[in-house]
Amino acid sequence: MNMPYLKIGTAVLLLFTLLLPFSSHAKADISLSVSARSAILIDGQSGRVLFGKDEHEKRRIASITKIMTAVLAIESGKMKDTVKVSKRAIQAEGSSIYLKEGQKVSLEDLTYGLMLRSGNDAAVAIAEHVGGSLEGFIFMMNQKAAELGMENTNFQNPHGLDDHKNHYSSAYDMAILTKYAMKHKQYQKIAGTTFYKAKTMEGYWKNKNKLLTGLYEYSTGGKTGYTKLAKRTLVSTAAKGDAQLIAVTINAPDDWKDHISMFEYAFDHYKTYMLAEKGRLASLKGTFYEKKAFIKRDVDYFLNEDEKKLVKIETEMLTPEKKWKKNAEAIPDVVGKMTILLDGQVIEQLPIFYENKRNRMPQKSFQEMFKSVFQTSIGGSSWSI
């Protein structure tokens, strides 16, 4: 049954705080010059696009393909498995970790070899083990891409070699994939490892990502790539303070400089603010929902100084029914929704809960209570029905 809503216009409270993930599609307006034919910079937590250049264009992507291969290896839950290397795997051209036919290597070692040394032989060995066959794994890659909304992507192999005409992605899609990959602690660890000594084979590998191995102090990982047709491709991540960023370039003659320039601009001009704080909603004081309505998580966002005044929060609540005063069990678990807008564009929506036996108001940790000391209000609040 549809129920009438009360609508509340509420000024936003801003806090300097730690980032927490949520979805967002409000594009920033950064003016940068990069060498890449396609490039993108996003906030690694919210997914907000901070800079883009032909970011939706379908292009060959070379070895940044291996990010998807690593993700599927990790999600398989088989990282401790022993993989028997096939003849097909050792026949893979290009960069290699020098596997031998019949050799037995852990999937974990193969994944490190895949990401640090860009082993094409490792990519095929991983694909055959995780997917049951190379073809089965490619199906898995495209299925995952569809799940993640990678609309301009089609995988034809697990390594990115130019052996298929229709193997492509876009800078935007690779940023989406990397944001997803970074949710996995094991992926973070592997992609951010500078040196690795293999446990089940001979191999002591240095990461090919020069940003990570010394060129950029805030680098946290990524994946390099190159083929004759794709040219230089690069995905990299960086963190400074509360900010976590993801950059992608495709066909970029000066990719290291491109990534540093994008990261530095964002770090210099943007900060993380809390737009909504988990727990009781102070804006509902004096209403039926006072002290009982709450949201379950903080909402944080990467903003520049000029954008703070463009943030608005709209809160819509179910109109209370008379029977609710006598029968609290009749009150729905979800009694409203909060919509957060930046310059009129929705950047987040989340449910508002009513406290009962099934839904308890979240308790703040000492660290979270400490953050509230820095809370800054930029306006009052008002009601409208």
pLDDT tens readout for residues 227-286: 999 999 999 999 999 899 999 999 999 999 999 999 999 999 999 889 999 999 988 988
pLDDT band at 25 (very low <50, low <70, confident <90, very high): low
Q: What is the reported pLDDT for 7?
A: 52
Query: Quick one: 92 and 183 in the same domain?
Result: yes
Query: Quick one: 212 and 98 in the same domain?
Result: yes
pLDDT above 90 (res 347): yes
Mean of pLDDT over the chain: 88
Angle at the Cα of 295 from the Cα atoms of 294 and 301, rounded to 5 degrees: 140
* Catalytic member of 63, 219, 261, 283: 63
pLDDT above 70 (res 109): yes
32 inside domain: no
Residue 106 falls in the annotated catalytic set:
no
195 inside domain: yes
151 inside domain: yes
Residue 63 falls in the annotated catalytic set:
yes
229 inside domain: yes
Residue 144 falls in the annotated catalytic set:
no
* Catalytic member of 53, 66, 144, 208: 66
Number of domains in the chain: 2
30 inside domain: no
* Catalytic member of 118, 170, 261, 283: 118
pLDDT above 80 (res 383): no
Query: Quick one: 220 and 342 in the same domain?
Result: no
The reported pTM is 0.85
Q: What is the mean pLDDT of residues 111-133?
A: 98
Strands (E), the chain: 5-11, 13-14, 38-43, 49-53, 82-84, 104-106, 195-197, 204-206, 219-227, 231-240, 243-250, 271-276, 279-280, 293-295, 299-303, 311-318, 334-342, 345-354, 376-377, 381-384
Residue 292 assigned ligand-binding role = no
Query: Quick one: 162 and 286 in the same domain?
Result: no
